[in-house]
Structure 1
Amino acid sequence: MYPFYRYTKSIVKAISAHKKGDTVDLTDTAKMTFRCSLTDIDNFLEMNNGRVFTLYDLGRTDFAIRSGLGKKLLENRWGLVVAGSTIQYRKRIRAFNLVTIKTRIAAIDERWIYVEQSMWVKGKPCSTALLRTGVTKGGRVIESQKVLDALGKSDWKMPPTGYVAEWIESDADRPWPPQQ
């Protein structure tokens, strides 16, 4: 089940932080912490891989609110969408571990905002994900420049380079739908 209580709690905390001046710029890395609960673990007593993606939602929501994007989403009746992702796991997260999610923008192109997220326990990386995200209006992805303009960052550029550009290129070569 989706963790609605935890999601709501993280939104309230992010709004409170934003009001107190604990904001993030588009170039910053946002951090939030939580405990791995019993509802997050699987039969191997570690955080379920699907739950990792769900909890990354909370990190992106925190980033959006604290960066001011959340307010612009409401004002413009915009939505958010994930259009692709890749993840790597390196270390198990066990029940009751204190987990830090780090969220940052890795790149922006004409249409997509590429977000990099990672989970850390005791200063060690456990997983990292790269997500292709977009802002939508009426169910369609809008140009990234409109989002930047709304945030007062019209001149800000962060084109995809390195592994982000390589992922974009390799993902473009992937057949869709998958060949059976």
Structure 2
Amino acid sequence: MYPFIRYATTIAHAALQVKKGNTLGFDDVSEITLRCRLTDIDNFLEMNNGRVLTLYDLGRTDFAVRTGLGKQLLKQRWGLVVAGSTIQYRKRIRAFQKVTMKTQIVGFDARWIYVEQSMWVKGKPCSSALLRTGVTEGGKVVETARVLAALDKSDWHLAPEPWVQEWIDGDKDHRWPPME
């Protein structure tokens, strides 16, 4: 089940941070902490890989609210989409461990915003994800320039880092399952 209470708590906490003046720029790193709950673990008593991806939603939500993107999403009636991802797991996260999640933008192009997220336990990286994300309107992706203009960041440019560009290029050759 989707962690709606955690999601709502993340929004409330991020909004409180904004009210206190703890906002983020698009070039900043968002950090939130959480605990691995019993509802997050699998039969091996570690955080389930699917739950990791779900919890990364919380990090992107904190980032969106604290950068002002969340306010523009509401104002413009925009949505968010994940159009691609790749993830690596390096260390198990066990029940009740305290997790620090980091979220940052690592590049954008005319259509997509590339986000890197990672989970850390006791200063050690446990997983890292790279996501192709976009802002949507009426089911279509909004051009990045329009999103940046709404945030008064029209002059901000961040070409994808080389490792991100390699993933973008490699993903163009991804074979889809054959049509039946």
Quick check: TM above 0.5?
Answer: yes
- Once residues 28 and 84 of structure 1 are traced to their aligned partners in structure 2, the CA distance between those partners, rounded to angstroms, is 22
Distance 1:178 1:158, change over 3 A: farther
Counterpart position of 2:53: 53
The answer for unaligned runs of 5 or more in structure 2 is: none
1:11-26 matches, cutoff 5 A: 11-26=11-26
1:6-155 matches, cutoff 5 A: 6-155=6-155
Count of matched residue positions in the alignment of Structure 1 and Structure 2: 180
SS at structure 2 position matched to 1:47: coil
- Once residues 98 and 54 of structure 1 are traced to their aligned partners in structure 2, the CA distance between those partners, rounded to angstroms, is 17
- Once residues 112 and 12 of structure 2 are traced to their aligned partners in structure 1, the CA distance between those partners, rounded to angstroms, is 27
Task: State the 1:25 CA deviation.
Answer: 0.4
Which amino acid in 1 is paired with 2:166?
Answer: E
- Once residues 19 and 72 of structure 1 are traced to their aligned partners in structure 2, the CA distance between those partners, rounded to angstroms, is 16
Which amino acid in 1 is paired with 2:96?
Answer: F
Q: Deviations over 1:61-101 (max 9, x none)?
A: 00000000000000000000000000000000000100000
Q: Deviations over 1:85-128 (max 9, x none)?
A: 00000000000100000000010100000000000000000000
- Percent sequence identity over aligned pairs: 68
TM-score (norm 1): 0.98
- Once residues 46 and 127 of structure 1 are traced to their aligned partners in structure 2, the CA distance between those partners, rounded to angstroms, is 13
- Once residues 127 and 13 of structure 1 are traced to their aligned partners in structure 2, the CA distance between those partners, rounded to angstroms, is 24
The answer for unaligned runs of 5 or more in structure 1 is: none
- Once residues 13 and 133 of structure 1 are traced to their aligned partners in structure 2, the CA distance between those partners, rounded to angstroms, is 23
What root-mean-square deviation, in Å, do the aligned CA atoms of Structure 1 and Structure 2 show?
A: 1.1
